[in-house]
Structure 1
Amino acid sequence: MKITKVEAIPFAIPYVKPLRFASGEVHTAEHVLVRVHTDDGVVGVAEAPPRPFTYGETQAGIVAVIDQIFGPQVTGLTLLEREVVQARLGRTIGNPTAKAAIDMAMWDALGKTLDLPVSELLGGYTDRMRVSHMLGFEEPATMVAEAERMVDTYGIRTFKVKVGRRPVSLDTAVVRALRERFGDAVELYVDGNRGWNASESLRAMREMADLGLLFAEELNPADDVLGRRWLVGQLDVPFIADESVPTPADVTREVLGGSATAISIKTARTGFTQSQRVHHLAEGLGLEVVMGNQIDGQVGTACTVAFGAAYRLTSQRAGELSNFLDMSDDLLTEPLDIRDGELVLRPQAGIGIEIDPDKLARYRTDG
């Protein structure tokens, strides 16, 4: 089970349509496939999706830090020396998705070595999760039409609506249109990606007070310390901290400081090992949790559902597991299949996926 090599392979797959939200716009999935090789001939895989406008990482930066720093640091260790790996990766500041992908690829390799699914190694609570779909910036009629397609085609009935535009009425009108179209047949929550200030956020939430929202997520920046605490104190729905809580220490700061009452766990930024710590902290503090999405492809989505299904707390709410539907293609030999609003774990060892070598050859960008 000794690690012999870590690969970082950049690839690019276009989106069917641009994904637009308050902190940026994405036209192509320029991600990195990470492969951890062992002396037993096992190869674990994971996906690192860079988000330069959120965490400062770029595709080229992820490849460089894995090739030049992280890969050499973990080569020679065993798959069981996860704490040593965490300590060595922790010497370098930032680079959350690069670190997370190495960690998850190690878990995938461990599951394959032991012939066990990763989700069972983590906790094994259930074999499936309900799916939440993200609706990006568009006109109300377009967003309602996309939601209708998700309901009709995939049975999805939970929607995370991207907000944060000015004036706030642009977004409150969208959410109202969705509620009027579907009534109580769907669950709705909003995500501002830090696009509003505290007073704009409160005005928007008051305009939507009759719409039965599940959550409000990152409506205003976390560094607006007093404004954020003031806002959270005014709301009657849980306020999710997402990009403001990339580490367990950040979760502690935001929650105990009164700046959040729920959290989003994204395996793309905390892997499995750090996500466990965030989960256990949330459980101890009595927080609600949603499994978030870093606009992952199918590799990353398989990782998210493997973790989310492993625990009771993370499987209670619908997870953000459908963004890969907006990609024109993917890397798996057998694509993920959302049915009746659920994504079911595959019984295979590890994360339960295989990379199609022909697709990887087609989309990799390193020549």
Structure 2
Amino acid sequence: MKITQIDAIPFAIPYRKPLKFASGEVRVAEHVLVRVHTDDGIIGVAEAPPRPFTYGETQRGIVAVIDEVFTPQIVGLTLLEREVVHARLDRTVGNPTAKSAVDMAIWDALGQTLGFSVTELLGGYTDRMRVSHMLGFAGPAEMVAEAERMRESYGISTFKVKVGRRPVDLDIAVVRALRESFGADIDLYIDGNRGWTAAESARAMRQMADLGLLYAEELCPADDVLGRRWLVQQLDIPFIADESVPTPADVTREVLAGAATAISIKTARTGFTVSQRVHHLAEGLGLDVVMGNQIDGQVGTAATLAFGAAYARTSRQAGELSNFLDMTDDLLTTPLQITDGCLHRLPGTGLGVAIDPDKLSRYRTDH
């Protein structure tokens, strides 16, 4: 079970249409496939999606830090020395998705070695999750049409609506159009990606008070310390902290400050090892948890599902597991399938995913 090699392979797959939100937009999945090799011939895999407008990472930066910094510190350790790996990765500031991909690839390799799925290794609560689909910026008619397509094609009935535009009324019109079109047949929550001020957020929430929203997520910046606390105190639905809580310490600060009442866990930024810490902290604090999406491809989505299905708390809510559908292709030999609004854990050990070598060769950008 000794780690002998780590690969960081950049690849690029276009999206069918730009995905737009308050903090940026994504047109191409310029991600990094991370592979951890062992002396038993096992290869664990994970996906690192750089989001420079959120975490400051780039595709080239992820490859460089894995090749030049992390690999020399990790090669020679065993798959069981995950806490040693975590401590060594933690010496380097930042780089959350690079660290997380290395961590998850190690867990995938461990599951394959021991003959268990990652979900079973983590907790084994269930084998599936309900799916929430993220709707990016567009007009009311276009967003309603996309939601209808997701309902008809995949049975999805929970939607996360990206907001945070100005004027505020535009986003309010979109959310209202969705509710009026589908009534109580769908669940809705909103995500501002820090795009509004606290005052704009409060006004928008007052105008949407009759729409039965499940959550409001990152409507205004966490750096607006007093404004955010003032906003959260007014709300009668949970306020999700997402990009403001990348570590357990950040979760503690935001919750104790009254700036959040729920959290989003994204394995793309906390891997499995740190996500466990965040989950257990949320459990101790009694927080709602949503499994978030980093606009992952299918490898990253399989990782989110593996963690979310492992625990009762994370599987309670629909997880953001469908945005790989917006990509024109992917890397897996057997694609993920959403049926009846659910995504089932892939059979097999580890994450259960297998990389198609021809597709990897076609889309990798380091030739």
Q: TM-score range by the shorter chain?
A: over 0.9
| Distance in 2 between residues matched to 1:289 and 1:117, nearest whole Å | 22
Deviations 1:229-259 (A, max 9, x none): 0000011110000000000000000001100
| Separation in structure 2 between the aligned mates of residue 7 and residue 241 of structure 1, nearest angstrom | 32
Amino acid at match of 1:73: Q
Per-residue deviation, residues 167-226 of structure 1 (Å, max 9, x unmatched): 100000000000000000000000000000000000000110000000000000000000
Instruction: Give the whole-Å Cα distance in 2 for the aligned partners of 1:80 and 1:221.
Output: 39
2:170 is aligned to 170
- Alignment partner, residue 298 of structure 2: 298
TM-score, normalised to structure 1, is 1.00
Q: 1-side partners of 2:7 and 2:255: how far apart?
A: 37
Number of residue equivalences: 367
CA-CA distance at 1:347 after TM superposition: 2.1
- Partner SS, residue 98 of structure 1: helix
CA distance in 2, matches of 1:345, 1:336: 9
Question: Is 2:108 the counterpart of 1:108?
Answer: yes
Question: How big is each residue's C-alpha offset from its partner over 1:101-121, in whole Å with a ceiling of 9 and x where there is no partner?
Answer: 000000000000011111000
**Residue 341 in structure 1 maps to residue 318 in structure 2:** no
Q: Residue 189 of structure 2 aligns to which amino acid in structure 1?
A: Y
Give the AA of the match of 1:137.
F
Partner of 1:39: 39
Give the aligned partner of residue 7 of structure 1: 7
Structure 1 equivalent of residue 283 of structure 2: 283
Secondary structure, counterpart of 1:276 in structure 2: helix
> Quick one: which amino acid aligns to residue 269 of structure 1?
R
Question: Counterparts in 2 of 1:74-223, with a 5 A limit?
Answer: 74-223=74-223
Match of 2:329 in 1: 329
Aligned-pair CA distance for 1:262: 0.1
Counterpart code for 1:212: G
SS of equivalent to 2:240: strand
Q: Which amino acid aligns with 2:363?
A: Y
Matched AA of 2:135:
L
CA distance in 2, matches of 1:145, 1:292: 23
Match of 2:260 in 1: 260
- C-alpha separation in 2, matches of 1:347 and 1:135: 29
Q: In the alignment, residue 20 of structure 1 is paired with which amino acid?
A: K
% identical equivalent positions? 80
> Which digits, 9 at most, give the CA deviation of each residue in 1:253-296, with x for residues without a partner?
00011000000000000000000000000000000000000000
> Within 1, Cα distance between the matches of 2:185 and 2:47?
34
> Which residue is 1:232 aligned to?
232
Give the counterpart letter for 1:342 in structure 2: C
Aligned AA (1:155): G
Counterpart CA distance in 2 for 1:27 and 1:75 is 35
**Where has structure 1 moved over 2 Å in runs of 4 or more?**
none
Q: TM-score, normalised by structure 2?
A: 1.00
What displacement does 1:298 show? 0.1
* 1:283-339 per-position Cα deviation (integer Å, ceiling 9, x unaligned): 000000000000000000000000000000000000000010000000000000000
CA RMSD of aligned residues (A): 0.3
2:320 aligns with 320
- How many Å separate the matches in 2 of 1:7 and 1:290? 31
Quote the Cα distance in structure 2 between the aligned partners of 1:84 and 1:117: 22
Q: Provide the C-alpha distance between the structure 2 equivalents of 1:49 and 1:195, rounded to a whole number of angstroms.
A: 22
Question: What 5-or-longer segments of structure 2 have no aligned partner?
Answer: none
2-structure distance, mates of 1:169, 1:29: 31
Describe the SS at the equivalent of 1:32: strand
Residues in 1 aligned to 2:61 and 2:268: alpha-carbon distance in whole angstroms: 16
| 1:140 CA drift (Å) | 0.2
- Once the 2 structures are TM-superposed, how far is the Cα of residue 346 of structure 1 from its aligned partner? 1.5
Name the aligned partner's letter for residue 287 of structure 1.
L
SS at match of 2:254: helix
Deviation string 1:34-80 (CA, Å, 9 cap, x unpaired) is 00000100000000000000000000000000000011111000000
C-alpha separation in 1, matches of 2:291 and 2:80: 25
Give, in whole Å, the separation in 1 of the partners of 2:293 and 2:299. Answer: 12
SS at match of 1:159: strand
Q: Distance in 2 between matches of 1:297 and 1:223?
A: 30
User: How do residues 344-359 of structure 1 correspond to structure 2 at under 5 angstroms?
Assistant: 344-359=344-359
Q: Find the aligned partners of 1:165 and 1:336 in 2 and give their Cα distance.
A: 32
State how far apart, in whole Å, the 1-side matches of 2:277 and 2:197 are. Answer: 31
The secondary structure found in structure 2 opposite 1:53 is coil
Amino acid in structure 2 at the alignment position of 1:65:
V
Instruction: Report the equivalent of 1:307.
Output: 307
Matched residue SS, 1:65? helix
Describe the SS at the equivalent of 1:61. helix
User: CA separation in 2, counterparts of 1:257 and 1:78?
Assistant: 40
Does 2:51 match 1:51? yes
